A and B are shown apart, each in its own frame.
Chain A
Amino acid sequence: MNDQREQLLTRVRKALEVPAEKPAGHHDQASEPRIAGKHAATEWLPLVGPSFEERLALYAKNAKELTADFRFIQGGIPALVAELQEIAKTEGWTGVATHAGELTEAAAGALGLPVVRTECGYDVDALEKCSAGITACEALVAQTGSVLVTSRSSGGRALSVLPPHHVVVARREQIVADMTEAYALLASRYSESGYPSMISFISGPSRTGDIERILVLGAHGPKRLTVLCI
């Protein structure tokens, strides 16, 4: 194995001894000249307003486009619980899965349904049969309408993707502006102590366009994604 590693790396090094220049791309160089100087990705990525209201509005707009159900709830945890009870009733839930956490426990506990907990290992079949997976998140990204989950913040890898309905419970402070800020947040949380083994930006429910490029929701993962934010 070490031999193979050395062989491969040696070939790479030898190849890199050949001097190569990046093609200038003169084709569109003329029409779109490059702006000189050092620039960060945030300068070119979609713009996000500085105020909380702008970010909230942008998140709501993007989430709607992604066919996620985003609800910004006034009235704290009791209002969130009431909202969730309403959803559970309309959809006729028979059981939910969740993980340890202030919001998740308050939400799942109030439903009066059997609850599967994932943090200390779980039965896959039992999780598969749950009507919904209720998770917390690391952040909500306004720029893209995404939910950022990790294996540590959101009850492991499968909880947010195996049950047919993924419900995210979040706090308003968790809305970040853009992708750059989301990665900065992850770095501040984990670069010292070690990153979780899974980090996922979820943008809308599971979807496919593989049949005649027609959008179908719930290809393999959740058919519905609900984000409840207090």
Chain B
Amino acid sequence: MSTTPAAAEFKKEAAVITRDLRHRAVIRGALKKYEVVRDDKKARFQNWQQARYLASDIKWDAVNHLDTYLAEFAKNLEARGGKVHWASDAAQAREIILGIVKEKNAKAIVKSKVMTGEEIHINEALEEAGYEVVESDLGEYICQLRKEAPYHFVFPAMHLTRGEISQTFTKELGSAPTNSPEELTMIARRVLREKYIKADIGISGANFAIAETGMISITENEGNARLTCALPKTHIALMGIEKLLPKLSDLALFLPMLGTAGCGQLLTGYNTMYGGPKQPGEADGPEEFHVVLLDNRRTDLLASSEQRDALQCMRCGACLNVCPIYKNIGGHTYGTTYQGPIGSVITPHLRNLQEFKHLVFCSSLCGACTEACPVKIDLHHHLLQSRRDAIAEKAVWWERLTFKACAVIFNHAWVFSLGEKLGRIGQIFHPLIKNTPLDPARAWTASRELPKVAPQTFREWWSHRK
């Protein structure tokens, strides 16, 4: 494979982290209960598999009529006093958000979890323009204090131990060191409470958007999004265009499926639908409600006849939690906004196939992701299709050469048996160069033993048999 900088970085980091036993222990610890609690909730469904078919159908319909549903959503939200903005790419989205923030003369901004925000690097843009932005989701807040990217798009700080988090808090917030997750959470709670009350702008994401009623729906456990959308005077929600669902009552199915697949909860702590700013006669809520709809090349994926279903994704994270690759290389190694199997499927479309093709090759194709996906995205087949596309688009010369050479070897019996003989001689001398730059099998021998060539080939045995 020709190596892009992203691929080189990926290989380097993956090589280090797969051998990091401490990392492995932390991840195993963090995910060990996931499958148990998820399966417990799945078992409460009368039929989880049929629920998946149904959810997949509804999302497929939504994605295939996206233009209609987007227009309907915008019309309904505008009728309720919300403002809808359309952003073709990251730059436009940043410009829209910065525009609102400037117009409002904002001083403090509080954010609940927005993966699309990571995608367009909104924090950097706001900070550069001189605004203070605080992440309110505990995991995101920890990552922000450590100046790290989220490790997992549902559990951002999954890779950290309480000791590391305590150190971060001591360093950044001046709190006393502690070993208790409870105390650590309370430290963050105290700091962030003040931020909500001070903030004049709240930025959130959206898990779903409802065409029928012009609402967005946010799923969370902590209540930070609830506060972000209640106290500041202006609420900006940033979301990808694929989040649409046709009807409000569709959530009766999607909310329990998201909770169950995502973290083994029948329903996540708070599932909240917002339709516009504060309405007449209501006690509180923002005066302005903006929704920014982001394309950022999602339409390229939409135009894929084979992989359109990847837009059904509701970012539950189930495919990450069961992925052997994710569990070995961890979230940061991907170097993408969206990690894990779904990240490997969509990133080549949203960014660049050649630059990120190493991700589609980095899979055991075990299919665990496809089976875990609540909306039945054909994840592992999409990885295969992207492998094919990457090669068709730009073949790698030495791979071509290798296959040509193989064709010669396998087409001519005498070349093949010569190879076998050479192999037998070669293996005597192999230890001299094993795992050095001279070793042609180094990629293998760096961490494994080469199997021994048999003393006698099948054909030798056949011709000598009595």
Contacts and interface: CB of A to CB of B under 8 A. Distances in A.
A45 B302 contact: no
B274 A179 contact: no
Interface stretch (B1-9, B14-22, B42-50): B42-50
Contacts of A9: 67, 70-71, 86
Contacts of B367: 27
Contacts of A218: 185-186, 189
B376 A178 contact: no
B221 A207 contact: yes
Interface in A125-140: 125, 128
A16 B226 contact: no
A22 B60 contact: yes
Interface residues of B, number: 113
Contacts of A125: 197
A150 B466 CA distance: 88
Interface stretch (B117-125, B152-160, B331-339, B354-362): B152-160
Interface string A181-205: 0111011000000111111111111
A41 to B, nearest CB: 4
Interface in A107-155: 118-122, 124-125, 128, 143-146, 151-152, 155
Nearest to A204: B269
B220 to A, nearest CB: 9
B151 to A, nearest CB: 11
A173 interface: no
A27 B88 contact: no
A196 to B, nearest CB: 7
Given A18-B303, A162-B227, A212-B30, A198 B158 contact: no
A207 B269 CA distance: 7
Given A20-B304, A22-B60, A212-B29, A183 B249 contact: yes
A120 to B, nearest CB: 7
Given A198-B273, A211-B181, A157 B230 contact: yes
B266 A183 contact: no
Contacts of B268: 203
B318 interface: no
B371 interface: yes
